[in-house]
Amino acid sequence: MAHIQHFVITHQRMFKKTLSYYVMHITVAMLVGYFVTGNFWIAMTLSLLEPTVQAFAYFIHERFWEKHNLNQKEKIMSS
Q: What pLDDT band is residue 9 in, cutting at 50, 70 and 90?
A: confident
Flag whether the pTM goes above 0.95.
no
Helices 40-78, 12-37: axis angle to 10 degrees equals: 140
pLDDT beyond 90 at 1:
no
For 20-72, write each residue's pLDDT tens digit. Answer: 988 888 899 899 999 999 999 999 998 888 878 888 898 899 999 998 888 88
CA dist 60 to 14, 15, 42, 65, 73, Å?
Answer: 11, 11, 28, 9, 20
Rounded to whole angstroms, the Cα distance separating 3 from 32 reads: 40
Indicate the number of domains in the chain. Answer: 1
Q: Which domain holds residue 39?
A: 2-78
Helix, strand, coil percentages in the chain from 3-state DSSP, rounded to 5: 95, 0, 5
